[in-house]
């Protein structure tokens, strides 16, 4: 038996009897649910994060991620299966290390892999033979082989011989109550046969279905394909919305009728812009990588242009509605934006178009405020520092009537839309929230 086969067999045995110690780096929307899922399946897990406030919250049994209830977090910490730390030297004790850090874009829409590279540098300081290192962060095909592996191999240890390397794309969907980390099929790939076997064994121990593919680059491409599919189709309906608006046709009625076809059609819905960490960002990782091969990605780039233009289109429709129906300029108007989160029923504001809508309204001289039952205060963000600290206004008659218009940006279920229809002098609805609930009112316009 070769040395690397022996190392692989030892780790396989530890995974099988749950004696393997797992480490999860990045305790956000992906990392914390994964860490808890691994712990609930019998492994000891250490979570790592550079934010000490997250560690304080976890130590207090207080979850900041909706997918992880306080009671579940408290149970796993009390039973000793999960703990969190900012001390990355403790990575040395971990047999399996999973990287779940952000992969944003630069201002020029190029991949920002700084979180990945810094994390790999930290792992390299304590890297030892027999460890399995897994990247889950969404990125372009080739990152695991071209970025992660060289950093780790600077230690003198070799992937596939001394340590094992794999990629498994995250598939978290905040707010989705039908699917959880353990029930979402997991695509996995390893750098070599031993790593592939370890990936299947580890994830097979914590999720219901494992989908192996031939290489990390293929697994990286799977994630991008999923999100590009959504981005392009959302761009299509956003473009159709603008065209049908000009024709006096309701895009929502069109989609509702089209989706009755039992084959060959899948409904996607328009909105005020794209939000979340994945769809507004991930497609551009492929457009960037494709330049290396001198190949165009016209569909992806066009979809990005259309989706990025939606906030300006919505604000333009808002300004038009104020002028035509109230005789007021946007520059002299107060607008209440309903929903700060990027999708309904979650507190996640990453890349939320609502932030852009507020910024655009105020660039045109208007006054904007927001109400969101899930986001009490706007936290620090990279792009919208000026909005930090603003708080959600109450949703009552007096408050609503202090605004000239209400803009529905996110259709949270906890919002009283019937009351809004009674109180608001003008409503611009980007989510079809009122028609879907059969609520009629004075001035309710779609955008």
Token readout for 276 is 């979340």
Which stretches within 164-282 are classed as H helix?
193-204, 216-247, 251-258
CB 238 within 8 A of CB 270: yes
Cα–Cα distance measured from residue 65 to residue 108, given in angstroms and rounded to the nearest whole number: 30
Residue 291: Cβ-neighbour burial (10 angstroms; 0-12, 13-18, 19+): exposed
* b/e burial code for range 118-153 (CB count within 10 A of at least 16 → b): ebbebbbebbeebbbbbbbbbbbbebbbebbbebbb
DSSP3 helix / strand / coil % (the chain, rounded to 5): 45, 15, 45
The angle formed by the CA atoms of residues 411, 266 and 185, to the nearest 5 degrees, is: 85
Catalytic residue among 94, 100, 120, 278: 278
Told to judge if 120 belongs to the known catalytic residues of this protein, a careful annotator would answer no
C-alpha to C-alpha distance for 170 and 220, rounded to whole angstroms: 10
Q: The tokens 């082989």 sit on which residue?
A: 145
The residues carrying an active-site annotation are 278
């Amino acid at each position: 038996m070769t040395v690397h086969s022996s190392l692989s067999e030892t780790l396989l045995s530890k995974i099988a009897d749950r004696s393997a110690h797992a480490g999860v780096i990045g305790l956000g929307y992906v990392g914390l649910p994964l860490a808890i899922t691994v712990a609930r399946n019998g492994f000891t897990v250490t979570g790592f994060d550079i934010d000490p406030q997250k560690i304080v919250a976890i130590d207090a049994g207080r979850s900041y991620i909706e997918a992880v209830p306080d009671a579940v977090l408290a149970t796993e910490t009390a039973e000793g299966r999960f703990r969190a730390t900012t001390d990355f030297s403790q990575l040395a004790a971990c047999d399996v290390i999973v990287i779940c850090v952000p992969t944003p874009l630069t201002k020029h829409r190029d991949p920002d892999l700084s979180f990945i590279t810094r994390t790999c540098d930290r792992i390299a300081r304590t890297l030892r033979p027999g460890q399995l290192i897994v990247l889950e962060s969404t990125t372009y095909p080739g990152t695991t082989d071209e970025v992660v592996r060289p950093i780790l191999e600077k230690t003198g240890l070799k992937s596939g011989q001394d340590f094992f390397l794999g990629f498994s794309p995250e598939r978290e969907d905040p707010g989705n109550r039908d699917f959880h980390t353990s029930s979402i099929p997991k695509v996995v790939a390893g750098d070599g046969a031993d790593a592939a076997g370890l990936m299947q064994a580890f994830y097979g121990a914590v999720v219901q279905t494992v989908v192996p593919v031939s290489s990390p680059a293929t697994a990286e491409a799977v994630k991008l394909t999923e999100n590009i599919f959504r981005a392009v189709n959302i761009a299509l309906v956003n473009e159709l919305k603008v065209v049908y608006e000009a024709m006096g046709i309701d895009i929502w009625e069109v989609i509702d009728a089209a989706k009755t076809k039992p084959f060959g059609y899948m409904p996607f819905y328009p909105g005020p812009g794209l939000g979340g960490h994945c769809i507004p960002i991930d497609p551009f990782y492929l457009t960037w990588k494709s330049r290396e091969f001198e190949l165009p990605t016209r569909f992806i780039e066009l979809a990005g242009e259309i989706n990025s233009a939606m906030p300006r289109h919505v604000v333009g429709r808002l300004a038009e509605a104020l002028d035509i129906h109230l005789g007021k300029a946007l520059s002299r108007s107060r607008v209440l934006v309903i929903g700060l989160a990027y999708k309904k029923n979650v507190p996640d504001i990453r890349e939320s178009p609502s932030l852009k809508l507020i910024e655009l309204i105020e660039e045109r001289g208007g006054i904007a405020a927001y109400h969101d039952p899930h986001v009490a205060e706007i936290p620090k963000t990279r792009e919208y520092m000026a909005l930090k600290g603003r708080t959600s206004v109450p949703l009552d008659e007096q408050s609503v009537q202090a605004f000239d218009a209400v803009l529905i940006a996110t259709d949270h279920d906890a919002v009283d839309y019937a009351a809004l229809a009674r109180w608001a002098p003008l409503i611009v609805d980007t989510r079809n929230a009122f028609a879907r609930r059969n609520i009629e009112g004075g001035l309710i316009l779609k955008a």
